[in-house]
Every structure is written in structure tokens, then in C-alpha cells.
Structure 1
Amino acid sequence: MLGAKDRHKIVVVLLEEAVGRKSALTLAGAHLDIILVLSAPLIDDASARFDPKPHFVSGGSAKYKRTTVVEWYHSHLVLRVVTITAWILKILIFHQIQRPNTCHFFYACDNNPNWPATRPNRPVEILALDGSWAYLSRYVILSHNFKLKYLLCLPSPRETARGTFMAPNIVLFLTDQLRRDALGCYGNKICQTPHLDQLANAGIRFDQAYTTSPVCSPARASLMTGLYPHKHGVMINTHIAPAWNRGLSTDVATFSRLLKETGYALDYAGKWHVHQDLGPEEFGFDRHIIGSAQSEMEPGSALTVDFPGNSFPVAGTSALPKEEHKTWKVADDGIAMLRERAGGDQPFFLRVDATAPHFANIVPEPYASMYDPQTIEPWPNFAESFTGKPAAHLRKHQEWHLEDKDWSWWQQVIAKYYGDVSLIDTCVGRVLDAIGECGIEDNTIFIFSADHGDSLGSHKHFEKSGTMYDEVFRIPLLVKMPGSEHRAIPQFVRLLDLMPTLVECGGGALPTGLDGKSLLPFLEGNSPEDWPDSVYCESHGEVWGYSSQRMVRSERWKYVYSPNDMDELYDLEADPAELRNLIDDASSADTLKQMKARLIGWNDATDDMFQWDWVRWNFPEPILPYN
């Protein structure tokens, strides 16, 4: 009987000494359910493809073609037959689970015309060992009298609410303040992101992914909980939060705790920013490596924002080699933990959190000089005049002392930002390479995203909070599933949807009351009919009480509600740069009414602020997001 330590060095157990001696065989890196190896005469090791679908019929019986299984993509796991020796008949066995932790299997044999297609006289029973390992309690009697000789013991499938499947490893690479349009796969013609582009082209690209909040802590807490900030309680950054709100409560369910309950090992490398005092370990992670890195800048390279009596750099060239940069070192930490877990006995979840490309963009060579600032054209909305816009927009521009920053200054900042993005891309490639080198790519889900975007000169703004523009709220979201094909998903999805997605991918049970919806149907190639055709976001600023806004966006329209300022309405079809506020446009009155109804519908669906009649009086009847 196998121990859990043997997961990635699969031991072939001798069941019968038909050849007159005991033997064992070790195979490295295979990802299979169960293989039975039968003694047989010398045969050619020619391979043939096996399609399991036609062979399953009602009543639990099956008929098989004379084929050997080469590979079979099933749910989250790629099942492969590995070459053992030329004198052993290879058989893959897979059938449906009849009850939890008990499997009934059939098999197919080689396509030699002298051997009839066969099936066992009685089913093989698989029992779970230590929750995730399996062994055969008895072997089958074969109709052609081949003797069962070897048994490969592997992790058994899990019985979950979604059915039975092998628990996949999951790697989430999260960036900080990354604009969606900085990536080549989302249309950028200058910034080089070859690894992310390849990931998008081979996997699933979500084209309308939105964060729930433009601020780090609320967005990250939404990712953890599947809840909007007004429900999980982290509404501004925890490092400047009021004393009565130190961060996310440990009473709130998180995907990390739920994955832990299903048997996952969980590791975390990099930025946290969800609680002032408590780390990831208090939320289900086994360990957290924050790491340390210096930030020494080349003299004379700093681009600064200047305040009375003070200034600080927003971009520059690092004096350190790239291997000493914080992004590189976070990837180092993540890769080290990944390699360790890849040889372990549990499915694992790894989160790699880079602080880049959040300012200050102090970028090492060769990335610091990778882009010529002169080639960077102005954003279409750099022409912002602030006319007809909320007063807070101009105030934000002035508070950052950006009045004297022309496009030539922004070109230099953006060039360094792009360098940071290309460095991230390199590190993503390093993590993906490590997954491949460990031989676990066939059972590993890889997700890439960001907590929120960045103004980066759009609308003449710096940083993120204070506005509800797409540059800040729209985020990249790329997913690579084992066996998946490239797809572009046009529906609106949200960062908080990752929480139920991760839990379902790991076979866990979802708590009630979530705002997030699992993206698993999209990942499996489906398109849910009841998916909402709008998205809802909120902002509470970076300082408590400074501002509060709500936004609802449909395919064409965006409405922003600001309780203490002017509202906004944009026709994104005619004005994708969001320069013309139509809030007082008489011809858009009916659209405004409908968008307000959408907003109040989202409010009611998520228990947001419009709970009193005196607040709701100027809103129409709600349009619910889920009809």
C-alpha cells in the first residue's frame, strides 16, 4: 500500500509473481488516475487514441475498441499513458464514481487483432486512503486470462458537488495597479509581454474583467471573500484605515480557508495588504514569504511629483541588477515553494503577489531603457478639460500638483511603467517554466490578474482613486486550464468572482450569501444564460470619509453616482475615452433613468447603501442584475 509521499514518484506494486521474481517500477511525473499493467507476450509499442465517450452506456457496462489510451482530457486533469516497457500491455482504466471514494472501472486493451476487446467480469473497487490516495482492494478476473501483474496507485478522484475529478494545483499570479491595456494581448502595440500574450493565446482571456474597488485593500479583500467592500468591511487601504477597522475580519469566509478544508496546501509569496496586524496564515495559508528587496536608484534618473517642501519619486532606473528587484525576488520565492509542493502529497494553491507596477516604478535594466518615451502617443483622454465633470476630478489633479506635467513628462513615466510590466511578464514566464519543469502543467490551473488599474496620465490623473474611469477599474484576467483551448470571453466578470471559482476548482463547498459567481462555466467552455449584462463597482477613496461613489456599466453606457458631487453618464460607444459627461443631456434622459434603475437593482442585490426611502426617492424602480 502506498504512502502519500509517493505521489510524484509513482510506485508500481507487484501483485503477482507471474515471472518468478518480485519487482517494482518507479515512474516520475505521470498524472493519471489508475493504470493496470498486465503481463503479455512481446508486442509492438505502437500507440492508438482512445475516445471514452462512445463506450459508456447505461447500466454500468461498456464495450471497447481495440485501442490503447494515449491521452484523455477530463475535467481539470490530463490523463496520459506513459511508456513502461515493450512487453507490457498498457491499459487505462476510468469510469464513473458510483459512490463517494469508491470507483468502478473498466478498461480497453491493445489494438492487436489477435486479442479480443475485453472487459472485467466484475468491477474493480477503489477505496480512498488518507482522503486522497487510492488502492485496489481486489483485482479483476480477465476474460482472456491475462494475469494482473502491476498496480499503479495514484491520487483518487474526489467526489464533490460538481462531480468527481482530480483536485488540480492552482497558481494565482496577482499584480498591483496593472492597466489592462498595458498588455499586448489586450491591444498594446508598444509594451512587450510575450509570455502573457502566449498565455492568453493558449488559454482563456476575459475581455470585460473589472475590479470591485480601485484601492488595493478593498479589492484584495473582495478577491479573498467573494464579497463587495461594503459587505466584507474593508473599504479603504488598511495601512491608513481608522483604528476601528484594522482589516478583514477572520469571521468572514475566504477561499483560502475553504481550500484548506478540502485538503490543499496553501503558500503565499509577496504583497498581502488585507490586514494591518494579521497575515495570510490567519486566513488559511500555511506560510507567507514577504521577502525583502532594496530600492536603490541611479542618480539623476528620478521623475518626481513635487509638493510644498517635499517631493517623491514616481519613476526611475534602479541601480541594482534585475535579480535583486522585488518583483524578481517574489517570483524566486514563489518558484521555490512551487518546486517544493510539486513533490508533495497534496494539491497546492500558490499565490504570487508582485507589488509592481504600482508606483514608484524604479525599474532595473534592461527593462528601464527598453522603451523610447518618444514613441508613446498621448492617451485619447489626456485631452481632459474637466469641463462638466465632478469637482473632485479637478481637485485630484491639483492635489497631486500635476498642472505643470505635460505629455513629455508622462511619456517618461509610462516608459518606466512599461518596463515594470515587461519585468512582470518575464517573471510570469519563469513561474510557467517552473510548472513545466516540475511536470505538473497537466494538473495545474494558472491565473493572472491585477487588483485594479492605474490612471497613468489618463484624464491627466495620477494613481487610482477618486474617479470611476475604465483605466482604473478594468483589469486583465487570463486563465490557463489543463486541456483548455483559446477562448475570449466577452461577458462582464469581476475580481470577486475568482473566490467562488477557486473554491469550485478545488472541489470545495461555497458559503451562502456570496456576491461573486463562479467563472467555472466559462472555463469549461460554456456560456451561462443568466449571466448579468452589467457590472457594479464602488469606491470609498483612500482616506475614510473623503469620497464615496458607485458605478454601473453596461456594454454601451456607464453611470456614476456621487452622493456629494456631480453624477456622470457616458456613452462608451460614441465616447470610449469618457470625455463628455451626458448627465444633463436631455436626449439621454431615458438612458439615465434606466442606468439608475440598474444601479438600484445592484444595490438591492448586494445590500448596499440605498436602504432608506429618503435616499431612494429620485431613483426609479430597480432593474435586478440577475433576471
Structure 2
Amino acid sequence: MMKLDRVFPFAGLALAACAPAATEHPNVIYVFPDQFRNSSLGFWSDPEYAEQVAWRGDPVHTPNLDRFAGESVVLSEAVSNCPVSSPHRGMLLSGMYPERSGVVLNCMSERPESSLREDAECIGDVFSAAGYDCAYIGKLHVDHPTKNNPQRPGTYVSDAVPEWDAYTPPERRHGFNYWYSYGTYDVHKHPHYWDTEGRRHDVDEWSPQHEVSKAIAYIENRGGERDGSKPFLLMLGINPPHSPYASTEDCDLEGYELYKDKSLGELLVRDNADTSMAKAAAARYYFANVSGIDREFGRLLATLDREGLTDNTIVVFASDHGETMTSHSVTDPKNSIWRESLNIPFVVRYPGRIAHRVDDLLLSSPDIMPTLLGLAGLADRIPASVEGRDFSAVLRNDAVQPERPRAALYLRNLDGKRDAEGLVRGFFPQARGLKTLTHTMELQIDRSGALERVLLYDDVNDPYQLHSLSPAEHPELFASLCGELAVLLRDHDDVWYRERVLSGVLPYDTEH
């Protein structure tokens, strides 16, 4: 009998060792706007980059990110394995896949079992133990909301039902000593935050602009925000271009001027975009926020230059998942295996250590934490609990490199059953799949565990994934990809492997 509505905790976490001298390591800044798709970077329209991919870049204006890319390694095939906000963030912070991190679904009050584990050794814990000052600014969205409102004890942080936003108390901040954050709150021009002491700040300013200003103050250490004798880790979780994106009330007005007079056909240039959808008009506001974020990112980089910190600072620009923006005629911007949702930006600059190039490394979300630790010279501190791999040697283009992944795992989970109180218990693993450098495949089941749908794409000859191939007409390809998927599921001890889901299709017990 299928047992698919369960969460399996991970046992055993390594402890960090004593911190080395703080001056040995670089600063690290990780900037990740929410729902920022990889194609929404202007440099993909430049011939140098365009020839590296089979798809067209969006017609966006991102001059600061374009210059940054020219000084960085640009990954064309980075993957958000479970392309939803909370599960990705759980993987980013812990280096573990969702079942182990504890974050299997988007966090909200009716999903008490989806929350970042308090005992997880996260990226902030490791950097802090290594002598870093650690700051988190912006959207977090990995905590199950509880009635811990500092301003009104015994209540949620708002009267919303269900509650999505959350206050993160000090004991759940995982090594971040400077805090200016919130759970999730989609009012871009009237955001709010809780600071290190738990004080709430309600702001009337476009959130990326406000957050970058706080990040600049932290970098400059204007008011003693950090210990200036230590290197720092700064994570900046920006909410836009995440929805809403329905009007100028939702977007950066300076950016909007660039797109307001363009037709939908001029903006939605992907072959699979449906300009007849009502959502198509959102492209103007989405791209406006993309350009606004580029401007704010430029301010951040200028601060590093001004402070003389550029040469000793690793800077990463990434995202938690993509945005379909009418591709495949779907309204859901994420939680699908289509490239627009799955593929994320990942651009890394480390002057003098990383040379500029475009690389097709299939970087997965759990790989980010160990790779950043490796780049910072802290590979020996990667916790035993981490399921991702350290690909810092690939980014540096070292003479000796680890074997590259042949495929990246894809996961889609839905709510499990609800109890008598209406709370979600466990999760339903609706789909599993994989992305290789040449193909994409998804297997979807119904609640009984029966195969419901197969998506199979030749990404080389069909980069917009317009034509799903028939497994019956491509039996060798289908069998090969099923073999690769079975290995991934087995290696990560996924619930599909443990429950032998689709065992007649996936060769779990075959040696590969």
C-alpha cells in the first residue's frame, strides 16, 4: 500500500569545529531576488552569451548585472530542484534536500510540518563558527508561522487566515547575528521587517531599495552593525520580481519607463509565450522590477568599490526559482519542470580567483552552501549533513575537479492529508524528474501512485519545450532517463525510492 503522505526526518548532524583566524577568508555576499528567471538578464542577448544557449534572452535592461557577468562565472544551467520559495531556501541554507531540511512545502500556518529544522547546521552556523560576522536581510520564508508576535505576544504577526508571514526568534536564526528580515509579505512598496532585537519596522519604500540601503549600511558599518575585525557573510533575500505585478503600485517606476510603451509581442519573445493570456500584461511590471533590482545591485557593487572591499569579496547573484510569465499558457509562475521555472541565474564574481566564462554546470540548490564554503576556503567545515556537493573547484577551473553531475533531480510536492483541525500532515510527492544537459523528463503520479503524465523534452532541438516526446516512440531515450532518475532518487533516499513508486518504470534495484 502506498505511504506517500509522510515526512522522514534526517538523523545525525555534524558540529562545526573551532574558528580559525578571521582574516584568512573573504567576505561573501549572496543576493537572491525571488522569482527572477535566468533569461531575464540582459547579457543573454549579447552574442558572447547568446551562442552558449539555445534560447533567446528577455529584452530587459540590466547594465549593472551585464558588467558584473563580464567579471564572473555565469552558469547557464543552474537548477532550482524544487522550484518553490520555501523548499529552495531550505536547501540553500542547509545544503539538504527538502525531506532532510524539513521544508517540503511553502511555509504557512496550516503546514506545521514544513519548517526549517532547528537542529540543522546551516550556512550561517558554519560561517559564524569560522569567525564570520553574519547578516540576513530581507525575505526568509523557511519558518512555520507560530503565535510568537513580539509586538502582540500570543498572536500571529497579522490577522491573516491562513498566516504566511512569520517572525524568526533569535534561537532560529542559525548563526546570523545581524537580522533585518521577515517571513513572506508581498506588498512591495510597504514592506516590514523585524530587526535583531525583534523590533518591527514598517517602511514606505520599494523593498529592494530599502534592503540594499540596509545592506550598504552594514557593509560600511556606519553604526557598528558588524564586527569590523571579522570577514562577513551577507545574505540579501529580495522579494520582487515576485508577484504581485499587476500595476505600477507593484513595481519600480523608473524601471517601468523602459517597458511601458512596448507591445506584449516585443516583451514576451520566447516561442512558448502566450501573449493572449490576461497575465501577459504583467510582463511590463515584472521587467520593471528586474531593471530596478539591477539598479540597486549596482549600488551594492559601487559600495564595495568605494570601501576597497571588491577584491576580497565573493559576490553571487542568484534566485530561488524562475517565472513562467505565460510560457506554456500556464498561470502558475513556478513549481514546474519547464525551464522558465526550473532554471535560475547563478553568477559568481571573485576577483583574481575566478576567471570570466559561461559554464553549463548543472548546479543544484543543495550544492550552493558547500560550494560557497569551498570558495571561502572552508571546505573542511562542510557539515556531514550536507547532501549537496562542493563545486568550487569547477568555478575556479582548477586543474583537478570533481566529476560533474550528469543530471539534476526535480521534485514537486503537494499538500498531504488534512487532520481534523484542517492542518496539513505530510506531503504528497506528485512528481519527480530530472534535467540533463540535453533532456528534461518529468513523471507525475495520481494519489493512488499510478502514472498520470510523462513530460519528455529534447532541450537541444526543442529549447522552448514545445513538443513532449512519446516514450513509446523513443524507448531507448526514455529507459536511459528513467535509469538516471532511479539513481538520483536512490542516492538521495527520496520517498519515491523508499516506497518504490512506479517500480515498473523506474529500475531502482538495477546497478548503474
TM-score normalised by the chain length of structure 1: 0.62
Judge conservation of contact 1:259–1:506 (CA < 8 Å) in 2. Answer: no
Q: Does 2:40 align with 1:171?
A: no
The verdict on how the C-alpha distance between 1:178 and 1:293 changes in structure 2, with shifts beyond 3 A counting, is closer
Judge conservation of contact 2:324–2:332 (CA < 8 Å) in 1. Answer: yes
Q: Per-residue deviation at 1:327?
A: 1.1
Q: Does 2:30 align with 1:182?
A: no
> Distance in 2 between the 1:605 and 1:460 partners?
34
- Of 473, 477, 492, the residue aligned with 1:591 is 477
Structure 2: runs of 5 or more not aligned: 1-18, 46-56, 146-166, 191-202, 417-423, 447-451
2:441 counterpart residue number: 559
Q: Does 2:475 align with 1:602?
A: no
Q: Does 2:233 align with 1:349?
A: yes
> Distance in 1 between the 2:332 and 2:501 partners?
34
1:16 counterpart residue number: none
Judge conservation of contact 2:85–2:141 (CA < 8 Å) in 1. Answer: yes
Q: Per-residue deviation at 1:174?
A: 0.9
The verdict on how the C-alpha distance between 1:547 and 1:466 changes in structure 2, with shifts beyond 3 A counting, is farther
2:387 counterpart residue number: 515
2:126 counterpart residue number: 258
Q: Per-residue deviation at 1:241?
A: 4.8
- Listed as ranges, the matches of 1:234-313 within 5 Å are 234-243=103-112, 245-277=113-145, 279=168, 281=170, 282=172, 283-290=174-181
Q: Per-residue deviation at 1:250?
A: 1.2
Judge conservation of contact 2:273–2:325 (CA < 8 Å) in 1. Answer: no
> Distance in 1 between the 2:356 and 2:372 partners?
20
- Listed as ranges, the matches of 1:99-498 within 5 Å are 132=21, 155=23, 166-187=24-45, 188=57, 190-243=59-112, 245-277=113-145, 279=168, 281=170, 282=172, 283-290=174-181, 324-340=205-221, 344-361=228-245, 362-371=250-259, 372-374=261-263, 375-382=266-273, 406-407=276-277, 409-483=278-352, 484-498=354-368
Amino acid of the structure 1 residue aligned with 2:289? D
Amino acid of the structure 2 residue aligned with 1:199? F
Q: Per-residue deviation at 1:466?
A: 4.7
Q: Per-residue deviation at 1:576?
A: 1.7
> Distance in 2 between the 1:567 and 1:614 partners?
14
> Distance in 2 between the 1:571 and 1:240 partners?
40
> Distance in 1 between the 2:133 and 2:227 partners?
12
> Distance in 2 between the 1:616 and 1:522 partners?
35
The verdict on how the C-alpha distance between 1:213 and 1:466 changes in structure 2, with shifts beyond 3 A counting, is closer
The verdict on how the C-alpha distance between 1:622 and 1:354 changes in structure 2, with shifts beyond 3 A counting, is farther
Judge conservation of contact 1:264–1:347 (CA < 8 Å) in 2. Answer: yes
> Distance in 1 between the 2:220 and 2:269 partners?
43
Amino acid of the structure 2 residue aligned with 1:534? A
Q: Flag the structure with higher strand content.
A: 1
The verdict on how the C-alpha distance between 1:588 and 1:415 changes in structure 2, with shifts beyond 3 A counting, is same
Worse-superposed segment, 253-262 or 521-530 = 521-530
| Root-mean-square deviation (Å) | 2.7
The verdict on how the C-alpha distance between 1:280 and 1:346 changes in structure 2, with shifts beyond 3 A counting, is farther
Q: Which has the higher contact order (CA 8 A, sep 6+)?
A: 2
Worse-superposed segment, 373-382 or 528-537 = 373-382
Q: Per-residue deviation at 1:533?
A: 1.8
Superposed CA deviations along residues 537-569 of structure 1, whole A, max 9, x for unmatched, are 211147865662111111222111112221221
Q: Per-residue deviation at 1:186?
A: 2.8
The verdict on how the C-alpha distance between 1:512 and 1:272 changes in structure 2, with shifts beyond 3 A counting, is same
> Distance in 1 between the 2:127 and 2:501 partners?
43
Amino acid of the structure 1 residue aligned with 2:120? V
Amino acid of the structure 1 residue aligned with 2:410? C
Q: Per-residue deviation at 1:131?
A: 5.5
The verdict on how the C-alpha distance between 1:242 and 1:343 changes in structure 2, with shifts beyond 3 A counting, is closer
Judge conservation of contact 2:41–2:60 (CA < 8 Å) in 1. Answer: yes
Bigger radius of gyration:
1
The verdict on how the C-alpha distance between 1:542 and 1:482 changes in structure 2, with shifts beyond 3 A counting, is farther
- Of 524, 536, 547, the residue aligned with 2:409 is 536
> Distance in 1 between the 2:377 and 2:345 partners?
25
> Distance in 1 between the 2:343 and 2:298 partners?
23
The verdict on how the C-alpha distance between 1:359 and 1:623 changes in structure 2, with shifts beyond 3 A counting, is farther
Q: Per-residue deviation at 1:452?
A: 0.4
Superposed CA deviations along residues 144-182 of structure 1, whole A, max 9, x for unmatched, are xxxxxxxxxxx4xxxxxxxxxx21010111110011001
Amino acid of the structure 2 residue aligned with 1:537? Y
Amino acid of the structure 2 residue aligned with 1:262? A
Worse-superposed segment, 506-515 or 590-599 = 506-515
1:460 alignment partner, SS class: coil
The verdict on how the C-alpha distance between 1:290 and 1:514 changes in structure 2, with shifts beyond 3 A counting, is closer
The verdict on how the C-alpha distance between 1:412 and 1:528 changes in structure 2, with shifts beyond 3 A counting, is same
> Distance in 1 between the 2:189 and 2:129 partners?
42
Q: Per-residue deviation at 1:268?
A: 1.0
Structure 1: runs of 5 or more not aligned: 1-129, 134-154, 156-165, 298-321, 384-404
- Listed as ranges, the matches of 1:56-75 within 5 Å are none
- Of 396, 405, 425, the residue aligned with 1:524 is 396
Q: Per-residue deviation at 1:414?
A: 0.5
Judge conservation of contact 2:133–2:227 (CA < 8 Å) in 1. Answer: no
> Distance in 1 between the 2:477 and 2:501 partners?
23
The alignment covers a number of residue pairs equal to 417
> Distance in 1 between the 2:303 and 2:132 partners?
20
> Distance in 2 between the 1:607 and 1:294 partners?
38
1:41 counterpart residue number: none
> Distance in 2 between the 1:331 and 1:572 partners?
37
2:347 alignment partner, SS class: strand
The verdict on how the C-alpha distance between 1:469 and 1:280 changes in structure 2, with shifts beyond 3 A counting, is farther
Q: Per-residue deviation at 1:619?
A: 2.0
2:76 alignment partner, SS class: strand
Judge conservation of contact 2:58–2:268 (CA < 8 Å) in 1. Answer: no
The verdict on how the C-alpha distance between 1:466 and 1:453 changes in structure 2, with shifts beyond 3 A counting, is closer
Amino acid of the structure 1 residue aligned with 2:242? H
> Distance in 2 between the 1:596 and 1:206 partners?
26
Worse-superposed segment, 428-437 or 508-517 = 508-517
